[in-house]
Amino acid sequence: MTLRDETWLEHRSRLCMEPGVVYLNTGSYSVLPRPVAEKLADWREHLARAPLDFYWRRVPDTIQEARRAFAGYLGADPLALVFFANVTQALNAAASSLSLPPGSRIAMSDHEYGAMQFMWRELAKRHQWTLDEVRIPVDVAEPEEIVDRFRRVLKPETRALFFSHVTSPSGLVMPAKRLCALARQRGILSLVDGAHAPGMLDLDLAEIGADFYGGNGHKWFMAPVGVGFLHVHESVKATLRPFMTSWGWKFDPERPDDDSGWGASYWARQFEFQGTTDRSPQMVIPEVIAFRDSIGEEAIRRRSRELASHARARLLEVGWSPATSDHPELSGALVTCDVPKVDALRTREWFWNEGRVEMVASSGASRHFVRMSTAWFVTTDEIDQAVELISRCPWHELT
């Protein structure tokens, strides 16, 4: 082992991990820290034996504490932070609330996640909008080139700009602050898919300045499934509309930020209290942050980058070209390499059956990739094992 793997094994021992599995897919879901899993189980046990006490007395204060802690972690305003189950729900809420006239144009990159592409296509069809695709090379050299490519696509009818902070298929890190500034300069709304950013990047949502920024906690942040969020700029808070009408619907519009007494401001309550849901995953956010603090955020990010560099080097050694940039502003902890066009599900299962490796195939920007998630708890030996599988994979049999 290299890169001081041995110094990380103690931290890794505090995770819930299946023995014998090489876990290179934090980009889909993370394994949980044991203290987080234990607290989550405690809350769910409490819900099972005392549901009224759970919802009426425990949830409100605990959710507010979690919101404040998460906002501090994200560099966000707690009064602008709404919990959702996942980023797909959060961004659907934002995009569905847009009141744009027919003929409006939406600029978005060609690296976007499939569910988000479907969302925009459906909304464009329903409202007679046009989607303008911004083509961005995976191996783009500088962040400003991405900004320039967006700038060239903008038209007088462009009303919104959408992009992923970290692209799911290719692992490219977009210059979020600069793109949001471009949108604001043009009087255009900015919507950011930050699914992969929390826990991977050093975030300051206030500084990024997006109108709508959605994210997930169940990936790199290492929270349970069920932790998603939307951060909304003050200038557009009043435009956001809930999916359904429920208990949070009616409140004094002059007092949206007052505490409702139900674990949220009146404004946030209309999105979070839509029938009975299990809030336990969101309630353990402080435990997630405490676990990460015990290691150190900067140490986690540095370790993940070292592992990403190791993965790129190993791919090159066996004749595969990494697709993801190694530019420090354009890369994070997702490493991809170009492969032939294959069936993603068959390829995923081949990796699993051949080596008990959790790794995925993806497509974006008219290219096809294998994607490795170099989370801090992965070892260099495990990356080497994955690269060996890539080098002997029967790609022609997996189409």
Instruction: Provide the CATH number for the domain around residue 183.
Output: 3.40.640.10
Contact by Cβ (8 Å): 261, 255: no
- Return the pLDDT at 329: 95
The helix or strand, by DSSP H or E, that contains position 229, with its residue range, turns out to be strand 228-232
3-state secondary structure of 235: helix
Percent of all residues in the chain with a pLDDT value above 70, rounded to a whole number: 99
CATH number at residue 334: 3.90.1150.10
Whether 246 and 309 share a structural domain: no
- 275: pLDDT strictly greater than 80: no
**Is 242 in the same domain as 343?**
no
Could you say which of 236, 270, 289 is where a domain stops?
A: 289
Give the structural domain span for 98. 42-289
Residue 37 resides in a domain: no
Q: What is the mean pLDDT of the chain?
A: 95
Residue 398 domain-assigned (yes or no): no
Q: Give the pLDDT score at 1.
A: 44
Query: For 274-293, what is the mean pLDDT?
Result: 95
Is the same domain home to 284 and 333?
Answer: no
Q: What is the pLDDT of residues 93-107, one digit of tens each?
A: 999 999 999 999 999
The total of structural domains in the chain comes to 2
* Contacts (Cβ under 8 Å, ≥6 apart) of 94: 191, 212, 214, 230, 232, 240
pLDDT of residue 363: 82
Statement to judge: residues 21 and 46 lie in one domain: no
Is it the case that residue 74 has pLDDT exceeding 60?
A: yes
Contact residues for 336 (Cβ-Cβ < 8 A; gap 6+):
138, 169, 170, 171, 322, 323, 324, 362, 369, 370, 371, 372
Task: Tell me if 83 is assigned to some domain.
Answer: yes
Whether 227 and 323 map to the same domain: the answer is no
Task: Give me the mean pLDDT over the 218-237 stretch.
Answer: 98
Same domain? For 114 and 53 the reply is yes
Chain segment 316-338, per-residue pLDDT in tens = 999 998 998 889 999 999 999 98
Query: Residue 176: inside a domain, yes or no?
Result: yes
Cβ burial of 69 (10 Å; 0-12, 13-18, 19+) is middle
Backbone dihedral angles phi then psi of residue 140, each to the nearest 5 degrees: -55, 140
- Do residue 252 and residue 331 come from a single domain? no
Q: Which of 267, 289, 311 is the last residue of a domain?
A: 289
- Of 264, 289, 314, the residue that ends a domain is 289
For the residues 161-172, what does the mean pLDDT come to? Answer: 96
Instruction: For residues 337-362, give the mean pLDDT.
Output: 93
Mean pLDDT throughout 64-84? 98
pLDDT category, 250, cuts 50, 70, 90?
A: confident
Whether the pLDDT of residue 138 is over 80: the answer is: yes
| 59 is a domain residue | yes
- Residue 150's pLDDT is 98
pLDDT given at position 4: 66
Establish if 274 belongs to a structural domain: yes
pLDDT digits (tens, 9 = 90+) for 202-222: 999 999 999 999 999 999 999
Considering the domain architecture, whether residues 99 and 190 belong to the same structural domain is answered as yes
Instruction: Give the lowest-confidence range in 21-30, 58-67, 207-216, 260-269.
Output: 260-269
| Cα 136–Cα 137–Cα 141 angle in degrees, nearest 5 | 105
253 part of a folded domain: yes
303 and 224 together in one domain: no
Residues 68 and 180 grouped into a single domain: yes
In this predicted structure, the answer to whether residue 5 has a pLDDT above a threshold of 80 is: no
**Percent of the chain scoring above 90 in pLDDT:** 87
3: confidence class by pLDDT, cuts 50, 70, 90: low
- pLDDT for position 274: 80
| 282 shares its domain with 300 | no
Q: Are residues 300 and 285 in the same domain?
A: no
Does 399 reside within a domain? no
